[in-house]
Chains A and B, each alone.
Chain A
Amino acid sequence: MSAFNHAFRATALPGEAESFRAEVKAFLAEHAPVRPPHVRARSWSGFDAEFSRALGDRGWLGLTLPVDYGGGGKDAFARFVLVEELLAAGAPVAAHWIGDRQSAPLLLHYGTDEQRAFFLPRICSGELFFCIGMSEPNSGSDLASVRTRATHDGDEWVLNGSKIWTTYAHKAHYMIALVRTSGTSDDRHKGLSQFLIDLHAPGVTIRPIVDLCGDAHFSEVFFQDVRLPASALVGAEGDGWKQVNAELAFERSGPERIYSSIVLLDLWTRYLATRVKAGSAEIALLGRCIARMAALREMSIAITGRLTEGESPVIEAALIKDLGTTLEQDIPLEIAALIGEPDQPVNDELMRTLAYVMQVSPAYSLRGGTREILRGMISRGLGLR
């Protein structure tokens, strides 16, 4: 087989991870807020600070972080199981999502002893929520063109500029932002650095942005002469681009790139089961969705296995994300195509859930790197760029 096919080695979830699953299911049965499917369909966009803190109390935020920092000390397979069960249940995970998935691993890897000692236990307890400042009004997919700038002022930094499409900035305590510390946008990947920004600091203004369903899950954040202490710098000055890219394999290969439409799929499945006889097109569609999901899950577990070995398979992760978000987008498209029979009444809850997923799913292939950017990365892996 060719190199890409080789990269996805057969990998089974280890026994410990599977036994952990029973604990997760029991916890969810007790603690997951009871909400109707069209609300659970928010998936990892659903925000519930209380639920996140319950997870923190249970020791499951920062599951893979060292126990010394308040983490769970478990491996990436256990985290795969936890996230898989949370998403399958449609649990509201957004409050802790970014801190748990990205900020904590980033600080563990690049942070100073002081940063780790202060932030990691607070992320693990659910006390502090994080967001990531990447896009700017004139820097979307072209992230290296960011213009928000931090300049030296004595021992401190002064920050000016703005970030946009920042998930839950208006409910987070801290942002880790990628900003320019030297040169100009023409210098591209050089001269970028990452900073920890206290979102309650003077000079920070946050304006939530409402989406097409009426939800406000992202925001625009303005920085006007925001003073940052020297200790706000994450990692090395000028290494921001490298640091950001090191985490992409985590962000793009997880179950959240497969399961965003699972609440809808499962609700539709139960609806089909109540029908006297489901049509052959419906049964085939259901089976096709399960088949694609099963294969993508195998791929995601294979990459999880490589992450546990300390590798960073960024291109393979891009490949999973493109295929996975396509499945997530096909589920509402294809269910809608079959459900639209004018003489076959469908219950209100299924219609609300379908309506929600139909409207937001076009964005599934944007968040975390657009489909077109990912395909560019894959073709670079093929030697075409």
Chain B
Amino acid sequence: MSEETDMFLDSFQRLLGDVCTPAAVRAVHQGADSAPIWDAIAASGFVDAMLAEDNGGVALAGADLAPLLVEAGRHLVPVAFGHTAVARMLIASAGHALPVEGPILLWPTSAQGGLRSQVAPAAFEAGHALVQHGASFRLLPLLTESPVDGFGFPSADVDMDASSLLDYVMDDCCLLEWAAGLTALASAGAIDRVVEMSVQYVTERQQFGRPLGNFQAIQHLAAQAVEQSVLAGTAARIIFSGGATTVDALRVGVAKALTGIAAGEVTRIAHALHGAIGISEEHDLQLYTRQLKRWQLSYGAQDYWSARIGTARLADAEGSSVDFIRDRLAARVG
């Protein structure tokens, strides 16, 4: 990370520490207005950071924005920060002016026109979606009604019959990969925070007359959780470590598959370490568990992405796994 990125991250962390506390996130989940969180993030300018300098941004590369996206996940930022940053960058790079101010959801669709995700993104504060159908891109309004889904989130949906605010064609850009990559980065951050909370909890909670963390069984669970967190963080970094400006399906696949697996392992361990209180509505762990489970199902779960990697590997089965990983997935000197 460059010094500049460190500076951005530091300032973003402070911003989220102020406006996106667990209490604020909880309130939004319970129906409070999410506008103050969005307004603070929008005013900070980070949502335009990927834009070229001519367009008011600082041309931040994906690899440099990634730590901010992870940080947003750590804070469970409920509004579509990453989606909007990418949507604005894509719209600008297609040569269009931005016609709306609020959050924009990324909306990849299948040949049949449905959203390529088992769960829709949460609607909090978002009014529009950038809808991709093949090479066609349209900016459409969301429906005003957002039914609450099985995870308790207001599920966004697009008004496909409305007139588009933008309508253009662009090849070689895949919103599924972008959306899955953003989900993986956010998940890595949330996983990291859950591990931190769990270690803190077992340090303080006393049972049998001593801290839970004194017990070897507890220590080993905590060690496994931190391992999964590091693996997820590394996998998420792979998305942009190739040095390319756009997203690559295999790199995203590694990140989405491994953060999905880690989310399952880490939430299981976190709840084991917290005991019954962790599953209660009043404890903050539930905010993370619900979000992580929902993200696991968003834009392809781990086996979908693993299969895409497996298919690519089988197409080139004669070489070694090491050569495949080096060619397709390794970090490159930037």
Given contacts A2-B192, A262-B320, A379-B222, contact A294 B329 (CB under 8 A): yes
B18: Cβ under 8 A from any A Cβ:
no
Is A248 in contact with chain B by the CB < 8 A criterion? Answer: no
Contact between B306 and A295 (Cβ–Cβ < 8 Å)? no
A41 CB-CB contact with B under 8 Å: no
Contact B235 A295 (CB under 8 A): yes
Distance in angstroms between the alpha carbons of A278 and B306 in the assembled complex: 14
Chain B minimum-CB-distance residue to A255: B322
A295 CA / B310 CA spacing, docked (Å): 15
Interface centre among B309, B312, B332, B334 (most CB of A within 10 A): B309
Known contacts A295-B238, A379-B222; A285 and B310 CB within 8 A of each other: yes
Which of the 9-residue segments B82-90, B223-231, B287-295 touches chain A? Answer: B223-231
Interfacial chain A residues near B189, Cβ < 8 Å: 1
Q: Does B234 contact A (CB under 8 A)?
A: yes
Question: Contact: B310 with A287, CB < 8 Å?
Answer: yes
How many interface residues does B have (CB within 8 Å)?
A: 64
Residue-wise, chain B 192-221 has the 8 Å CB interface mask toward A (1 for contact) of: 100110010011000000000110101110
Task: Kindly state whether residue A32 has any CB partner on chain B within 8 Å.
Answer: no
Query: Does B43 belong to the interface (CB within 8 Å)?
Result: no
Report the bound CA distance from A322 to B222 in whole Å: 13
Bound-complex Cα distance A280 to B311 (A):
10
Residue numbers in A under 8 Å from B302 (CB-CB): 288
Query: When the two chains form their complex, are residues B233 and A298 in contact, meaning their CB atoms are under 8 A apart?
Result: no
**B253-A291 in contact (CB<8A):** yes
B-chain residues with CB within 8 Å of residue A272 when the two chains form the complex:
314, 317
Measured in the bound complex, the distance between the Cα atoms of B192 and A288 in whole Å is 21
Q: Separation in Å of the B16 CB from the closest CB of chain A?
A: 13
Chain A residues lying within 8 Å of B317, measured Cβ to Cβ, are: 269-270, 272-273
Q: Which A residues between 344 and 385 are near B, CB-CB below 8 angstroms?
A: 372, 374-376, 378-379, 382-385
* Docked pose: A211 CA to B257 CA in angstroms: 37
Complex interface bits, B301-329 against A, C-beta within 8 A gives 1, otherwise 0: 01101111111111001101111110001
Q: Which residue of B lies closest to A25 (CB)?
A: B323
Interchain CB contact under 8 A, B220 and A284? no
Complex-state Cα separation, A375 to B196, whole angstroms = 17
A259 is an interface residue with CB less than 8 A from chain B? yes
Known: A1-B189, A1-B233, A298-B241. A11 touches B331 (CB 8 A): yes
The reply to whether the CB of A216 lies closer than 8 angstroms to some CB of chain B is no
Q: Is B258 at the interface (CB under 8 A from chain A)?
A: yes
CB distance from A368 to the nearest CB of B (A): 17
Nearest A-chain residue to B314, judged by Cβ? A273
Q: List which A248-279 residues lie within 8 A (CB) of chain B.
A: 259, 262, 265-266, 269-270, 272-273, 278
Residues of A within 8 A of B331 (CB): 10-13, 298, 301
The residue from A287, A291, A294, A383 contacting B199, defined by CB atoms under 8 A apart: A383
Closest to A21 in B: B326
A298 & B199 in contact (Cβ 8 Å cutoff)? no
B7 contacts A by Cβ under 8 Å: no
- A contacts with B, residue count (CB < 8 A): 59
Chain A proximity of B42: nearest CB distance (Å): 24
* B226, A84: Cβ atoms closer than 8 Å: no
Say yes or no for A310: interface residue by CB 8 A criterion: no
A376:B303 contact, CB within 8 angstroms:
no
- Tell me whether B227 and A266 are in contact (CB under 8 A): no
Q: How far is the CA of A322 from the CA of B231 in the complex (A)?
A: 11
Question: Are B199 and A378 neighbours in the complex by a CB distance under 8 Å?
Answer: no
Asked if A340 is at the interface (CB within 8 A of a chain B CB), the reply is: no
Q: Are A287 and B313 in contact (CB under 8 A)?
A: yes
B321 touches A298 (CB 8 A): no
B76 within 8 A of A: no
Chain B: CB-nearest residue to A378: B223
* A294 surroundings in chain B (CB, below 8 A): 235, 238, 254, 325, 329-330
A338 to chain B, nearest CB (A): 12
Q: What is the chain B residue whose CB lies nearest that of A268?
A: B317
A301 cross-chain contacts in B, Cβ below 8 A: 331
Q: Does B128 contact A (CB under 8 A)?
A: no
By a CB distance below 8 angstroms, the chain A residues around B111 are: none
With A283-B311, A375-B223 as contacts: A1 and B70 at CB distance below 8 Å: yes
Pick the contact of A293 from B253, B261, B325 — CB < 8 Å? B325
Taking CB atoms, residues of chain A closer than 8 Å to B323 are 88
Q: Does A323 contact B (CB under 8 A)?
A: yes
- A interface with B by C-beta (< 8 Å): 1-2, 4-5, 7-8, 10-15, 84-85, 88-89, 259, 262, 265-266, 269-270, 272-273, 278, 280, 282-299, 301-302, 319, 322-323, 372, 374-376, 378-379, 382-385
Q: A13-B330, A85-B322, A287-B257 are in contact. List 16 more A-B contacts (CB 8 A).
A: A15-B333, A269-B321, A286-B314, A287-B253, A288-B257, A288-B303, A289-B321, A291-B258, A294-B325, A295-B231, A297-B325, A298-B330, A319-B223, A376-B219, A378-B223, A382-B223
What are the 6 tightest A-B residue pairs by CB atom distance, in nearest-first order?
Answer: A287-B310, A287-B309, A273-B317, A379-B219, A287-B306, A286-B310
9 A-B contacts (beta carbon < 8 Å): A5-B230, A11-B331, A280-B307, A286-B313, A287-B307, A287-B313, A288-B257, A383-B203, A383-B213
Q: List residues of chain B with CB under 8 Å of any chain A CB.
A: 1, 63, 67, 70-71, 74, 189, 192, 195-196, 199, 202-203, 213-214, 216, 218-220, 222-224, 226-227, 229-231, 233-235, 237-238, 241, 253-254, 257-258, 261, 302-303, 305-314, 317-318, 320-325, 329-334
